[in-house]
Amino acid sequence: MTAAPPVHPPPDTAPTPHGAYGLHATARITAESAGGATDLPLLDGDGPFSLRRLRSRGTQARVCVLNTMSAPHNGDRLHTEVTVGPGADLHVITAAATIALPGPVPVHATHDLTLRVADHARLHWLPEPLISAAGSDLRQRIRIDLAPTARLVLSEQQILGRPHEPPGRLSTRITLRRDGRTLLDQHNTYGPGAQGWDGPAVLAGNRATGQLLIIDPAYEDHPPEPHHLDTPPAQGVITPLPGPGVLLTAIAPDAGHLQHCLNAALRHLGHHTQ
Amino acid sequence: MSPVSLLILSDGRFPAGGHAHSGGAEAAIAAGRVHDTASLEEFCRGRLSTAGLVAAALAAAAASGHDPLLLDDAADARTPSPALRQVARRLGRQLMRAARAVWPSPDLDRLAAARPAGAHHPVVLGLVARTAGLSPQDAAQAAAYDSVCGPVNAAVRLLGLDPFQATAVLARLSGAIEHTAAQASEHAARLPVDGVDALPAASAPLLDITAEQHATWPVRLFAS
């Protein structure tokens, strides 16, 4: 029996001077293996997050996150906590793109996600894109803790601005620990104030960027080769991490071409999202 | 502490093999994204605030005396591209070789023995700076400066840019280099309390994407 691996240090929850004006909400999902199926003993929506259980597929429980308010606005403090217990299998999607929006207070918004997956458990985390609207300022922090035999398929897409508008400021940091060791720590910051973000070293005019992260103990013995995805105008590369996992890094002029590249990567890696 | 040591360590003629690397500029030039001094400067600003910041913080942390093997793992986690991990280790090994002759020390011997294929370059740079009596801030400045020197030198050779104008790009970047080094030192100073997560993890998608492509080119002037 292996419990969920140790958690990261708690995120900084110090109140901001304007904290009283922002929305504070925490959504929680806990999945447990029970008799060849996956139960959801905790499915706790809050604030903008409304959680809907979808029809299970085999042993896999499926959850859809609905954003039933417009959130996040600047100043909001959002948390999402997902725990997948030993042997459980959970698939999470969102019903629509999340749009980061300006707000009444001059402070950034935060969304902290903590994803924990225990031994022999699996999490698919496949939300719709995150759109950074003009004037918004969102810091997203994704902390993932995997047990040694846990599996993960995660995708994230960032769209910088709605059509014909400049982007807001968007920062996304993904830290993935497996068996206590950090396999990936990646922080992307785009938009006003981020030096060189739109230049030839970083995005070069592209407005959509995404990651696909797959961790599977089977990669331990058979790590995939680096692979360039030829899906112009999108560009992407699949790279083996220093451990049993791969990362797709992709950029594209828009959300549609980015999706095309992500799908090509999933096909290349023999995964499907449904 | 001798400021001359910093000049020796940062000198382009220091025999550590850095001149063979363009820091992603060769790929950006081939794709037409870098074509003049203005686009070179913008490339350098992007590199400095991502790979440069991470390198500077690793160097500052190593110069502060933090465990270089822990920092080497942190560098791996911040480098998803295997081509760039290999380059960083090769450059680290070459710097180690030169530095052990220039500033011999048991610390360098220990790291060389623990990582015979090379530790990540910024980690070695920080430890060398410490051995040479330099401060964490000095190490951060050397790493930040190093992150833009490669692209500027490569652009002179590949685009035939006027070397005077290319060096003027470096001079215009000096404020940004100092700012990056100061930020990096602050991150490194938080390491004892917050652990390695205190180190920045800034990343540039195009540098990662093009590094893997560049590594497969049959003919290229620069190794990275």
How far lies A106's CA from each of A76, A102, A137, in Å?
11, 9, 9
Domain boundaries, chain B: 26-210
Q: Which residues of A touch B49 (CB under 8 A)?
A: 194-197
The CATH code that applies to domain B26-210 is 1.10.4190.10
pLDDT at site A104: 87
Which of A188, A176, A168 has the alpha carbon at shortest distance from A150? A176
CB pairs below 8 Å between A and B: how many? 124
Helices B174-189/B53-63 angle, 10° precision: 50
Determine how β-strand A137-146 pairs with β-strand A109-117. parallel
CB contact under 8 A, B212 and A188: no
Q: Which two tokens stand for residue B68?
A: 């270089």
Say if A224 is an interface residue toward chain B (CB within 8 Å).
Answer: no
In angstroms, rounded to a whole number, what is the distance separating the alpha carbons of residues A17 and A105? Answer: 10
- Shortest Cα–Cα distance, B3 to chain A (Å): 29
- Interchain contact A172–B (C-beta under 8 A): no
Contact B39 A199 (CB under 8 A): yes
Are residues B197 and A185, on separate chains, in Cβ contact within 8 Å? yes
B206 in contact with A, Cβ within 8 Å: yes
Backbone angles phi, psi at A42, to 5 degrees: -130, 120
Residues of chain A neighbouring B24 (CB-CB closer than 8 A): 201
> Which residues of chain B carry a pLDDT beneath 50?
none
**In chain B, pLDDT over 70 holds for what percent of residues?**
100
User: CB A164: neighbour CB atoms within 10 A?
Assistant: 6
By the CB < 8 Å criterion, does A96 face chain B?
A: no
Q: Which residues pair with A198 in a beta bridge?
A: none
Judging by beta carbons within 10 Å of its beta carbon (0-12, 13-18, 19+), is residue A55 exposed, middle or buried? exposed
- Give pLDDT, residue A1: 38
**Is there a contact between B207 and A203 if contact means CB atoms under 8 Å apart?**
no
Burial B48-85 (b: 16+ CB within 10 A, else e): bbbbbbbbbbbbbbbbbebebeebbbbbbbbbbbbbbb
Rounded to the nearest 10 degrees, how much is the dihedral formed by the CA atoms of B180, B183, B184, B185?
120
**Mean per-residue pLDDT of chain B:** 97
- pLDDT by 10s per residue, chain A, length 274: 344 444 454 444 444 444 457 899 999 999 999 989 999 999 999 999 999 999 999 999 999 999 998 899 999 999 999 999 999 999 999 999 999 999 988 899 999 999 999 999 999 999 999 999 999 999 999 999 999 999 999 999 999 999 999 999 999 999 999 999 999 999 999 999 999 999 999 999 999 999 999 999 999 998 899 999 989 999 999 999 999 999 999 999 999 999 999 999 999 998 755 4
Query: Does the beta carbon of B80 lie under 8 angstroms from any beta carbon of chain A?
Result: yes
